[in-house]
Amino acid sequence: MRGGCAGSVSGMDSAPSPAPGAAPAPQRIGVGILGGGTVGAALVGLLDERRAEITARCGTEIVPVAVAVRSPDRPRPGVPAGLLTGDAAAVVADPDVDVVVELIGGTDPVRQLLLAALAGGKPVVTANKEVLATHGAELFAAARAGGADLLFEAAVGGAIPIVRSLRESLAGESVQRIMGIVNGTTNYILSRMTTGGSGYADALAEAQALGYAEADPRADVEGHDAAAKAAIMAGIVFGAEVTAADVHCEGISTLSAGDITFARRLGHVIKLLAIAERVDGDAIAVRVHPAMVPEDHPLASVRDSFNAVFVEGDACGELMLYGRGAGGRPTASAVLGDLIDAAANLRRGAATGPGPTAPARIHPIGELRAAYYLALEVIDRPGVLAAVAGLFGRHGVSIRSMEQEGLGDQARIIFITHVACESDMRATLEDLRHLEAVRQVGSVLRVIADE
Ligand code: HSE
């Protein structure tokens, strides 16, 4: 299938030269694309639209050779029918495929396909957070062994250059904490609840109608999508293997309109955050949960389906990366950047540095220290507040502020605590659930940067 060589690019400043003694550089880079959905079609489109610029930039033409899909007989808008095939393994093994781009998603059969590509020394570009957050260590080991690139800019934050910024631009930085809004669906839902006054169910239905949320929205609303991205970011920032199983994960499906209203009244907005931070020297705490974010924090202004990652480093101070976290063309843009990198590296006979090589020491969630918001529904009668406050005191959790709203002969009490240990807060909640005057323990939210 390999065609003639690309137009002359000699003299292009940005075109890399092969290293002395390296194997001859390919005259044309053939790309095998696994997955022909919206991102795959957008990638084929961008490769066509930008052909001249891409050739100039990497010194060689990048040409799609095949697109593997489940039903190759079904036409795909934007993908020439002649590229479609049903055999993904054959695409990986095709000698005309120099780089494998994986856009299928999930772990099976993707893991085997990627391992086969890397074992054959073929660079892999993937947008698949799940396979990286589950089998990252194995895939990085295969990339090292095969001397091949494993690039995944599109796996976190779509078009936003988060991976490259964390891995390269901030390589010399001592990062203390990253906090990301890395799931557009949940950010859209929370934005609608905050500014549109919608309840959770209506906001979710709206997100589904707009195509942000899947028919089965659990991966997004229960935080699993964000947890995979948190694991990937933590691995890069802290240079250690972190898997999705290491990430404490809570979603947004139990949040009420009342929580949103109270948060606003207290000068906060509620966001689903993916947080990775260094604790006690070399331990890493990684978690995903809804949190109250002060309205003047940069993350509070990230609305609708946009994503952002806020980084706190020793020398760089605070910075934030912001943009589109999903969608065909935004995600394809990040894939294309990786593809150009992989092509340039192939021409140089080099590969991007290895991934993490040692497991992280994960800080247990029970030892987290945070301030908490807690909504309680109680019977409104003398002595109830004293009994409730007594339980906080018994577990060493100090109350910072309290507000009561009447609901007939019931009342809702909102507490904000000082910074406390998570295990003490959990013990308090357990006792509160057994207190006869407590009708319901509502949402429990951590409060960001509150003291
Ligand atoms: N479902 C994700 C989101 C995009 O809503 O941001 C893919 O990770």
Secondary structure E strands in 39-156: 61-68, 84-85, 99-102, 124-126, 150-151
Angstrom distance (rounded) from CA 305 to CA 207:
9
Q: How many residues does the chain have?
A: 451
Residue 267 CA to chain centroid, in angstroms? 27
- The pLDDT of residue 252 is 97
Out of 128, 212, 225, 309, mutate this one to test ligand 1's pocket (max ligand atoms within 8 Å of CB): namely: 225
Model pLDDT for residues 189-231, shown as the tens digit of each residue = 999 999 988 999 999 999 999 989 888 899 999 999 999 999 9
| Residue with tokens 């609303």, as numbered in its chain | 221
Annotated catalytic residue, options 122, 129, 229, 271: 229
The answer to whether residue 451 scores a pLDDT higher than 90 is no
What local confidence, expressed as pLDDT, does residue 105 receive?
Answer: 95
Q: Is 326 in the pocket of ligand 1 (CB under 6 A)?
A: yes
* pLDDT of 366 above 50: yes
Q: Is 122 a catalytic residue?
A: no
Q: Which atom of ligand 1 is nearest to the CA of 219?
A: 1
Residue-level pLDDT at 11 = 31
- The CA-CA-CA angle for residues 254, 257, 261, to 5°, reads 125
In 394-448 the beta strands, taken as DSSP E runs, fall at 399-407, 410-417, 420-421, 438-447
pTM over 0.85: yes
15-24, 73-82, 131-140, 337-346: segment of lowest average pLDDT = 15-24
> pLDDT value at position 2?
37
Please state the atom number of ligand 1 nearest to the C-alpha of residue 229.
Answer: 8
User: Does 83 score more than 80 pLDDT?
Assistant: yes
The mean of the pLDDT values for the chain is 92
Task: Give the span between the Cα atoms of 392 and 411, in whole angstroms.
Answer: 18
Interval between CA 165 and ligand 1 midpoint (Å) = 20
Q: How far apart are CA 438 and CA 447, in angstroms?
A: 23
Cis peptide before 18, with omega less than 30 degrees from 0?
Answer: no
Four-CA torsion 28, 29, 34, 36, nearest 10 degrees: -60
Whether residue 429 has pLDDT greater than 60: yes
Place 8 in a pLDDT band, splitting at 50, 70 and 90.
Answer: very low
